[in-house]
Amino acid sequence: MHLDVIDLKDFYTQPLGRMVRGLLKARIRARWSNLKGLRVFGLGYAAPYLAAFKGEASALGALMPDGLGALPWPDGARSMTALVGETELPLDDESADRILLVHMLEWSEHSHALLREIWRVLEPNGRLLLVVPNRRGLWARVDTTPFGHGSPFSRSQLTKILKDAMFQPEGWQHALYMPPFNWRILTRWPGFWERLGLVLWPAFSGVIMVEATKQVYAAIPLRETTRQGRRHIMPVPAGAITPHAR
């Protein structure tokens, strides 16, 4: 059984979680350096990484799946969070320019349907950025972090699942080379461990990051159904909605 939204929030308040957020946010920002005027959504538990795009993206939202639960985001402001079904996103066709998928694919029981739903809502040549646990890395073997839960992936597995869903992988990165422990010697110098790991054990990172582009050639509609009732994103009110609370 995977973690819920409260577990994830707790992880990101710990020193190790704050370090992870800082490292991955820098990688994500480097990949998406200019999103001015674009429609950007995070799916899964992407809220820790979306703040960098506030005031830049024309539309911004944190879509949290009902199997995970939801928390209002950002704190102290109008909520930009929606509780969604992972294969029934409350977005129109081709209504998103960028989607960030974090803490989601490795837990999904419907990974192909999830990616095809993302394909539906992305505009032609829209981009998807995935962050998933690396099957070869230590982080996938230690269950004290969220990356130790669910099914990790190899690069070849990600390539296959993305191409099957009509995405073309284009940019690969690895991150989180330090051991996944809350030790001060590790969390104090994360940049040093990232550089050391990149040189000594480049294939054994904690996560794989891949950017993929939506392909529109020979497209076949997923289904001929009306999508009434999923056009509007309902914000999550104050407090948490978790699988256990429903």
- 14 touches 152 (CB < 8 A): no
Q: What is the pLDDT of residue 75?
A: 85
Q: What is the pLDDT averaged over residues 17-34?
A: 94
Strands (E) across 71-215 are located at: 81-84, 96-102, 122-133, 167-175, 207-214
pLDDT for the residue 59: 94
pTM comes to 0.88
Helices H, strands E: what count in the chain? 7, 7
Quote the pLDDT of residue 3: 87
> For the residues 25-51, what does the mean pLDDT come to?
95
Q: Is residue 82 scored above 70 in pLDDT?
A: yes
- For residue 47, is pLDDT > 60? yes
pLDDT (mean) for 62-68: 94
- pLDDT value, residue 109: 92
Per residue in 106-128, pLDDT tens? 999 999 999 999 999 999 989 99
CATH number of 5-214: 3.40.50.150
Domain map (residue ranges) of the chain? 5-214
Q: Which of 200, 149, 147, 206 is nearest to 179 (CA)?
A: 206
pLDDT averaged over every residue in the chain:
87
Contacts of 103 (CB under 8 A, 6+ apart): 8, 44, 45, 46, 68, 131, 146
* Per-residue confidence (pLDDT) for residue 224, from 0 to 100: 40
